C-alpha cells in the first residue's frame, strides 16, 4: 500500500494505490555521473511489483465498504514496476472476491514470473489490518 500521486491536472486519485510484491531485490551500484563523489558501491534496495487498479465503487469509512480492485492486465504499460521499499506505507490483506470467480478457471498461467494461475478476477483490499502482536496472559 502506497500513497497515490497525481502528476497532472486530472481529478484527484484515490488516496492509496496497491501493488503485489513479486520480488525483493538489492543491487550494489556505482554512480559515475558528473556529480560522482567516489567510486564506492552502494546498496540499492527495490521491490518488483504488479499493480492493482482500484475500481470506481464507493468505499471507505463513510461507506462502510472495502476498496475493490483487480490486477492491471499484463499487456498494459505500467502493469509492473520497481519501487523503493521506503515508499511502502504498510502491508494490507487481499481478500479474493470468490463470487466473481478466478481469472483463469483452467488454472493455466500466462506468466510464470507473476504466478498468476491462481489469481481471482477481483479482490477486496483490507487496508485496516493491525500488525501489532497481542500477548494473552
18-74 pLDDT per residue, tens:
999 999 999 999 988 888 888 899 999 999 999 999 887 766 667 677 888 999 988
The better pLDDT of the pair 117, 38 is held by 38
Question: Is 63 a member of any domain?
Answer: yes
What sign results for the dihedral spanned by CA atoms 39, 86, 26, 76?
A: negative
Structural domain of 27: 2-126
Tally of structural domains, the chain: 1
CA distance 34 to 31: 9
pLDDT at residue 137, rounded to an integer: 45
pTM over cut 0.85: no
Q: What percent of the chain has pLDDT over 70?
A: 82
In a domain, 133, yes or no: no
Tell me if 136 is assigned to some domain: no
| CA distance linking residue 13 with residue 43, whole number of Å | 33
Q: Judge whether 135 lies within some domain.
A: no
> Is residue 119 within 8 Å of 103, Cβ to Cβ?
yes
- Does residue 134 sit within a domain? no
For 1-137, list the strands marked E by DSSP. Answer: 2-3, 16-17, 19-29, 42-54, 67-71, 80-83, 93-96, 123-126
Supply the mean pLDDT for the chain: 83
Amino acid at each position: 500500500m502506497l500513497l497515490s500521486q497525481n502528476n497532472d491536472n486530472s481529478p484527484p486519485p484515490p488516496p492509496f494505490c496497491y501493488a503485489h510484491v513479486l520480488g525483493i531485490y538489492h543491487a550494489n551500484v556505482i554512480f559515475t555521473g558528473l556529480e560522482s563523489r567516489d567510486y564506492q558501491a552502494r546498496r540499492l534496495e527495490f521491490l518488483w511489483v504488479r499493480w492493482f487498479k482500484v475500481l470506481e465503487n464507493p468505499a471507505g469509512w463513510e461507506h462502510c465498504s472495502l476498496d475493490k480492485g483487480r490486477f492491471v492486465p499484463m499487456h498494459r504499460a505500467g502493469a509492473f514496476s520497481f519501487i523503493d521499499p521506503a515508499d511502502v506505507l504498510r502491508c494490507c490483506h487481499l481478500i479474493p472476491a470468490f463470487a466473481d470467480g478466478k481469472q483463469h478457471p483452467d488454472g493455466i498461467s500466462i506468466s510464470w514470473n507473476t504466478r498468476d494461475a491462481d489469481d481471482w478476477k477481483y479482490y477486496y483490499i483490507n487496508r485496516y489490518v493491525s500488525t501489532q502482536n497481542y500477548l494473552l496472559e
